[in-house]
Amino acid sequence: MHKSFAALAALLVSQVPLWPSVAQGPAPEVVSVQLSNFKFSPSELTLHRGRAYRFHLVNAAGGGHDFSAPGLFAASTIAPGDRGLIVGGKVRLAGKQSVDIVLTPQTAGIYKLTCTHFLHSGMGMNGRIIVQ
């Protein structure tokens, strides 16, 4: 019986890799956007339809800002764990906060980017996101 167990164990080990590979697509491309008083840097982004992106949003200011792009978010697939970070088409960031969101744009177009805090858009906190 001992030899049978050893033979079975050897067979199982030969059939099961120690680190099974997981089929995944390429890692999301990181897109860093800084929010400050009163601009987005960069203020224009070019993305590709069907490609995954990790938006790394950094609020460099002491006060709050938001990354409001409801059209883009509606036209994209959002990672399930990140959906709760987007409320009403925008991501809110407190002062000095950073947030990462993974999304895949599904529809080509030009999408408006603004900060919806009072007067921030009027002071230049605008941009656009082009999906090709």
Rounded distance between C-alpha atoms, residue 75 and residue 104, angstroms: 9
Fold of 26-131: Immunoglobulin-like (2.60.40)
The sign of the torsion formed by the CA atoms of 115, 119, 123, 128 equals: positive
Domain extents for the chain? Answer: 26-131
Token representation of residue 72: 């883009």
Per-residue pLDDT of the chain (132 residues; tens, 9 = 90+): 455 555 544 544 445 444 443 346 789 999 999 999 999 999 999 999 999 999 999 999 999 999 999 999 999 999 999 999 999 999 999 999 999 999 999 999 999 999 999 999 999 999 999 999
Whole-model pTM: value is 0.81
C-alpha torsion angle, residues 77, 48, 36, 60 (rounded to 10):
70
Q: Which helix (H) or strand (E) holds 2?
A: helix 2-15
Rounded distance between C-alpha atoms, residue 94 and residue 107, angstroms: 30
